[in-house]
A and B are shown apart, each in its own frame.
Chain A
């Protein structure tokens, strides 16, 4: 039940406990208990809302920054990652295999702010060897959801 529950709420964190209980064939109490256990265990880390900011008046710039670093003895990449992810404007940090080491996403109001984060904060960390910054021009799909895609049921009302 646990994995099926996780898959359901990963797609829709707003879904009612009562509906989840019916869909999974268990009681509402079971669902509530399982959810709080999952929260305590740190498996559910948060409940977010997916927003297409482009449709609002809010200006946002998202940068993807490839970072090459020198790993530290004993700590590997973890400590450097920590120094980066502690900045609240950093939205995500991934350790990546291949041509570079860390992929950092950054969200700011202006391009300038991203530029200054990279030059003043990121590049100045001792272990950082180089950075390459990309700006997101348009989000087509995020978290498995296609933006601007409101699907309509085009099936016939009846088929036997």
Chain B
């Protein structure tokens, strides 16, 4: 009998901690520290622009690549904020969130058997997207001793003659790790020497707390071998609008646009109009949110320090990644017990790859009042272990 479902799809495992998530869904009044999205509402002037677009009846398809005005604003923004130079018409594609851009990039670049290097712990979609594009995934287990940075040596070790792509997910979800200019230069050199392309997911670029964010696309010789991915979800608190973008050389963008055209047609029109407003007048909003995140980050770090919970200091995104190895439990056991006893939900680090085992992802996309209650419960919990 013919199998109904694709073997390739069946082979992709659902998240190993599904069981844990289901349990959380059943429980009442759970304090969750598990979300990967901002607690802020989309700033009103941006929402208002979306409403205006509705009123004006701007509910048609846009061009496949996205509104020209939006692409121009994206390029202005990338130049202004990160010193990146992309052409709005030929090197920029508006997508349904950064996630679509990840999928498109994999499908546009990969032939069967090409190797894709993915440093873990990381966001959960790179690996399945690479597999669906028929790649062989090579994982690098990042180390807490390096503050969960990818080092040039680790990269060199993972390279074979089949290596085609490196996924570079920094600032990182779930660890909060960032790469600095020097780190990027070393990685760039390895990529150039070995003719490797980089998919850089910089969705958290606006959320760094130790100075300006740098992109690998900025490093000399890298622009043409980089697919730069960013979006509106984290920077402007626009997760539900589903809007992101990819920038790369025109040959790559042309092929990504082809897939996008057949699979998606175009990103949501209303969201695109709202996003123009976000880029034109949203710098102040980002500043306010970043300041609040940083206060919460410091609050958590100090609180962990006081309760003796080891945690490397992360300087990006809105996650901290404390180590719970000393309690002799797996991440999932710890998270499960913490949920049962204190009704607080955190994400086991193992959800983000094997090297996340022994850690927890704690999100600080919550108000200080919320965090304070949760931290007190965590303190109580670990003091009994």
Contacts and interface: CB of A to CB of B under 8 A. Distances in A.
Interface of A: 4, 7-8, 15, 19, 21-25, 153, 155-160
B35 A157 contact: yes
Contacts of B372: 19
B30 interface: yes
A23 B347 contact: no
Contacts of B24: 157-158
A16 B37 CA distance: 27
B302 interface: yes
Contacts of B15: 160
Contacts of B296: 23
Interface in B284-306: 291, 295-296, 298-299, 302-303
Contacts of B298: 22-25
Contact of B34 (A4, A8, A157): A157
Nearest to B370: A153
Contacts of B299: 19, 22-23
Given A4-B291, A22-B303, A23-B298, A159 B37 contact: yes
B21 interface: yes
Contacts of A21: 302
Contact of B124 (A25, A157, A160): A160
Interface residues of B, number: 27
Interface string B26-54: 00001010111101000000000000000
Given A4-B291, A8-B295, A19-B368, A156 B302 contact: no
Interface in B334-385: 345, 347, 351-352, 368, 372
Contacts of B368: 15, 19, 23
Per CB-CB distance, the 5 closest pairs between chain A and chain B, nearest first, are A23-B295, A157-B32, A22-B302, A158-B34, A159-B36
Nearest to A157: B32
Interface in B171-192: 173
A160 B349 CA distance: 11
Given A8-B295, A22-B303, A23-B295, 9 more contacts: A157-B25, A157-B345, A158-B34, A159-B36, A159-B37, A160-B36, A160-B173, A160-B347, A160-B351
Given A22-B298, A22-B302, A24-B298, A158 B291 contact: no
A24 B32 contact: no
Nearest to A16: B372
Interface in B265-313: 291, 295-296, 298-299, 302-303
Given A19-B368, A158-B21, A160-B123, A25 B34 contact: no
Given A8-B295, A19-B368, A24-B295, A158 B345 contact: yes
A155 B35 contact: yes
A24 B352 CA distance: 30
A153 B34 contact: no
Contact of B347 (A7, A8, A25, A158): A158
28 contacts: A4-B291, A4-B295, A7-B291, A8-B295, A22-B298, A22-B299, A22-B302, A23-B295, A23-B296, A23-B298, A23-B368, A24-B298, A25-B302, A153-B39, A155-B35, A157-B32, A157-B34, A157-B35, A158-B32, A158-B34, A158-B35, A158-B347, A159-B36, A159-B37, A160-B36, A160-B124, A160-B173, A160-B352
